[in-house]
């Protein structure tokens, strides 16, 4: 629905109404909360200078501006991502698994389809223009004419960009064929297997060809390369427990809208764990350890960060 700015609603109120959409676009593009907030702030500054009464659709205007700013941000981040130590994972958005703010199953499914760790990690395969065009076309329903105007290219070129993006991710696109309750059950079973030190139970949760990605960013101990197979993933987790020689307590949480858990010790956060489920088993595990990326989550969960070795 097109919303027209009028004198009956202030510019501040209009922006506040669409802020979540602006942040959602920026977060999908940049993969970090701080970068997304920078894009939101810059979008607000431009909105504040615009002739709001002359803008027919504030939602479209704000989304377009945020997309251009996010694309510029992605281009600047490209070299930094290329030199990142180990796998790069997005900064997680977390919520406690209990409480009044817990989303409904319908909300959770919608959110998991939108900003799941699997989807955001998949988007890292795309070049900045591909990522922007793909998101705008697939998630925000921009037509090729609108993409052409935003990217400064022909409609034919934009069709090719979106088509190329689809091809690049088609083999690894996450499949959300699991209910929230099944996802939560597997996350709980995996956490229980860890806390009870039961390797067989842990392996039973995993697909034989499961993959683990661990993001320490060179600032926390983490696997520098993906770990393949259920058996190797089991050995990795129990190797961590043996190395630290301390019991970790799994805390159920939601990570980017999907059930996951935090590994904690005496009220301090060690890591955040998210997972992708396919055909009733865990296909991919994402471990976030970079303190720059989990500090905000620790604050949300009301705990401190464990010192990094």
Question: Nearest Cα to 262, choosing from 233, 299, 232?
Answer: 299
277's enclosing H/E stretch is strand 268-278
Q: State the Cα–Cα distance between residues 80 and 86, nearest whole angstrom.
A: 12
Q: State the Cα–Cα distance between residues 223 and 286, nearest whole angstrom.
A: 11
The pLDDT value recorded for residue 92 is: 92
% of residues, the chain, pLDDT over 90: 50
By the 8 A CB rule, do 187 and 194 touch?
no
Q: Write out pLDDT tens, residues 52-81.
A: 888 888 998 999 999 999 999 888 887 788
**Calculated CA dihedral for residues 97, 102, 107, 110, nearest 10 degrees:** -30
By the 8 A CB rule, do 97 and 5 touch?
no
Q: State the Cα–Cα distance between residues 169 and 283, nearest whole angstrom.
A: 17
Q: How many CB atoms lie within 10 A of CB 287?
A: 24
Question: Stretch 80-95: mean pLDDT, rounded?
Answer: 88
Question: Stretch 173-178: mean pLDDT, rounded?
Answer: 56
Q: For residue 279, what pLDDT band results from cuts at 50, 70 and 90?
A: confident
Q: What is the DSSP letter of 268?
A: E
The pLDDT value recorded for residue 5 is: 45
Chain centroid, CA 172 distance in Å: 16
**pLDDT for residue 11 is more than 60:** yes
Q: State the Cα–Cα distance between residues 287 and 240, nearest whole angstrom.
A: 12
**pLDDT for residue 272 is more than 90:** yes
**pLDDT for residue 114 is more than 70:** no
What's the start-to-end Cα distance of the chain, in Å?
52
Longest Cα–Cα distance of the chain, Å, equals: 65
């Amino acid at each position: 629905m097109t919303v027209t700015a009028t004198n009956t609603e202030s510019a501040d109120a209009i922006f506040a109404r669409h802020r979540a959409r602006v942040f959602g676009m920026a977060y999908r593009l940049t993969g970090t909360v701080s970068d997304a907030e920078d894009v939101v702030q810059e979008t607000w500054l431009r909105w504040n200078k615009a002739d709001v009464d002359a803008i027919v659709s504030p939602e479209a205007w704000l989304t377009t501006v945020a997309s251009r700013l996010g694309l510029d941000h992605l281009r600047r981040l490209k070299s930094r991502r290329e030199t990142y130590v180990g796998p790069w994972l997005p900064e997680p958005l977390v919520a406690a698994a209990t409480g009044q703010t817990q989303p409904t199953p319908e909300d959770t499914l919608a959110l998991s389809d939108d900003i799941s760790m699997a989807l955001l990690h998949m988007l890292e395969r795309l070049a900045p223009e591909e990522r922007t065009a793909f998101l705008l076309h697939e998630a925000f329903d921009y037509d090729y004419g609108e993409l052409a105007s935003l990217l400064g290219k022909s409609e034919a070129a934009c069709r090719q960009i979106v088509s190329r993006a689809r091809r690049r991710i088609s083999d690894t696109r996450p499949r959300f064929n699991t209910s929230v309750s099944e996802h939560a059950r597997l996350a709980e079973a995996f956490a229980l297997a860890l806390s009870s030190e039961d390797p067989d139970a842990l392996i039973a949760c995993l697909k034989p060809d499961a993959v683990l990605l661990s993001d320490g960013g060179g600032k926390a101990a983490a696997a520098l390369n993906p770990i393949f197979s259920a058996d190797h993933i089991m050995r990795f987790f129990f190797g961590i427990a043996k190395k630290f020689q301390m019991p970790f307590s799994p805390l159920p949480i939601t990570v980017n809208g999907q059930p996951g858990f935090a590994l904690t010790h005496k009220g301090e956060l060690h890591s955040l764990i998210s997972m992708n489920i396919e055909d009733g088993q865990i296909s991919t595990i994402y471990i976030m350890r970079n303190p720059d990326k989990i500090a905000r989550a620790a604050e949300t969960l009301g705990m401190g960060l464990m010192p990094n070795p």
